A and B are shown apart, each in its own frame.
Chain A
Amino acid sequence: MVATPTDTSDKETRPPDRPCFTARGVRRGAIEIAPLAVFVMPFGIAFGGAAAAKGVPASIALLMSGGMFAGASQFAALDLWRAPLPLAMLALTVLAVNARHILLGAALAPWFLRVPLARRLSALLFLSDPNFAQAMAARERGELDAGILFGSGLAMWFVWLTGTAIGAYGGAYLGDLARFGFDAVMVSYFAAVVLGQWKGRSDLLPWIAAAAVALLGSWLLPPGWHIIAGGLAGGVAGAWRHGR
């Protein structure tokens, strides 16, 4: 492992022959993800706008986007954002929404475990669904440079922060954002994400279990816990189905 982000001068022309992490890979990742990253902007604006609609200060919305960089979980956290902050519930909900990252990481393991630790960790910091998909497609083509995940992630992170800033600061001037339907952005997006996950009839039981338990929970449990209950119910039903 001699390749570092700085010693690319004499290796610039030669493609890597084993897992590595180079500045060239970082640059390539950022360029390759650009057409996708453009579509992150409206979601960032929507998140900033939704945060403003909830009365969350722009600085907090930006801190969320910068630190978490995981849109779905940020919307979910926004849904639970009230005084006093339900910290345990927020953490559990964010964990449940982002648990899929564990799967993405597991899929990258055969490749990334052969990259030096510090660079492996820094690339994984920017792991998200779009750049995971891009990196796996690149791996299929023989890509070995883990830098592409870092570069694509960093590019999307900048777009995500910019979008959030536009929505969060612009939102304050727009007044009641329900007029623009911003209070429905989150549920609309989630509904679309769920339907995009449909793989066939084997999903039906877990989905019904999640919906039924969540709906019952929303009437019977303290606020917010229905999300955890529904998520676990769907997960257990899915795992149980899998064993048959």
Chain B
Amino acid sequence: MVDDVAAVGAVLVLALVTIATRLAGVWIMSYVQITARIEAFLKHMATSVFIAIVVPAAVNGAPRIGLAVAAAAIAMIASRSALTAMLIGTAVAAAAKSFGL
């Protein structure tokens, strides 16, 4: 169980970090030019963080997680809707759970 005071403190830190990212872009641009290379780094890093969460979870986790990810990926390619993909992945995980996976 996470201590309540520690939890509130941690959330406040995370909120400040997030606010800093929201303000940083305009602030930095008032001083420097974001080069194409820096832009490519930031863009790919944002996507890569999600990849870095999903791939190990699907490989190392319970089978239903891998099934859910596969179903969500197929749904995303077919529908181009992240919401649809999320709902289908969740439904597949629920079905797999009922089969004991």
Contacts and interface: CB of A to CB of B under 8 A. Distances in A.
A87 B13 CA distance: 9
A165 interface: no
A238 B43 contact: yes
B53 A236 contact: no
Contact of A67 (B14, B51, B60): B14
B53 A109 contact: no
B40 to A, nearest CB: 4
A207 B54 CA distance: 12
Contact of A192 (B30, B34, B73): B73
Given A95-B17, A192-B75, A83 B2 contact: yes
8 contacts: A106-B34, A181-B89, A191-B73, A195-B85, A210-B51, A234-B45, A239-B40, A242-B37
A194 B89 CA distance: 14
Interface stretch (A3-11, A16-24, A55-63, A135-143): A55-63
Contacts of A193: 47, 50, 82
Contacts of A76: 49, 53
Task: Determine the main DSSP class of B at the interface with A.
Answer: helix
Given A69-B18, A226-B52, A242-B37, A215 B59 contact: yes
Question: What's the interface size class on A, roughly?
Answer: 35 or more
Q: Which of B8, B51, B56, B97 has the most CB of A within 10 A?
A: B51
A237 interface: yes
Given A43-B86, A105-B23, A231-B49, 16 more contacts: A64-B14, A67-B12, A79-B53, A87-B13, A95-B21, A100-B42, A101-B21, A101-B25, A105-B21, A105-B22, A185-B90, A187-B68, A192-B81, A214-B51, A234-B47, A239-B40
Given A83-B1, A192-B75, A238 B41 contact: yes
Interface of B: 1-4, 6-8, 10-15, 17-19, 21-30, 34, 36-60, 64-65, 68-69, 71-73, 75-77, 80-83, 85-95, 97-98
A126 to B, nearest CB: 8
Nearest to A127: B22
B50 A72 contact: yes
A198 to B, nearest CB: 9
Contacts of A241: 40
A43 B53 CA distance: 18
Contact of B29 (A90, A106, A227): A106
Contacts of B4: 57, 60
